[in-house]
Structure 1
């Protein structure tokens, strides 16, 4: 606490951090995500709408939509409950909700997707689990809305 602001936390009194995260984190694709790009750390939680404007990594829990022109990486302990719209997706975690990807979606071993998936290119590793409908191919990818989609006839 400081005399100027009694509610301010004295960060110097916390000491040094134990352990450290790597400067970059990458999945099997080798695409690096800087430590600064981790939006929700392991054990962390966020509720609300997220604008993805660059590479973004989720290692904790998100309840709400994630939308934007950035790339999304979901770590093995990451969980998203809500709509996802992004440039590319690489997931080793769990997503519950519809997903629309403009370039490529990859579900790594251990990943789970419970929701519809729309992407021009989709890659599933062994042991990835998916329950939902697929719209795959460049002509199928469109900006989605908040309205539920009609089943194909």
Structure 2
């Protein structure tokens, strides 16, 4: 029968062997475009992402409430049935950081995302679809916030 001490010793030996081969797991870090999240305008967001000028389209759907009673948790959704979508973005015009969410989309999944964002005040909300052929399409809706998400 193997004792705990022997098992720990063997585990340490296996870990040392994996470490010497460079096979130990590394800390996972999400890669994101920090310049895009720091942008204050839609033009700056598009420039940071290296895309063209967005064009309004009926093919992009934005799900957002007309009135958000609590700006701290505003449910937003974005979807499109167009083929070739590479990325979906949710932007809030009057937030300190306009870009609220960015989702990478592959052909294996539907281009339909939902999340909750924080809104400090009433503002236009944009759902943007970045297409594989370089087109940038968006939908916009005004969301009125009765209680700001920043405490007021």
- Give the TM-score category using the shorter length: under 0.3
Q: Hey, which of these two has a bigger chunk of helix by percent?
A: 2
The structure whose RCO (Cα within 8 Å, separation 6+) is larger is 2
Q: Hey, which of these two has a bigger chunk of strand by percent?
A: 1
TM superposition score normalised by structure 1 = 0.25
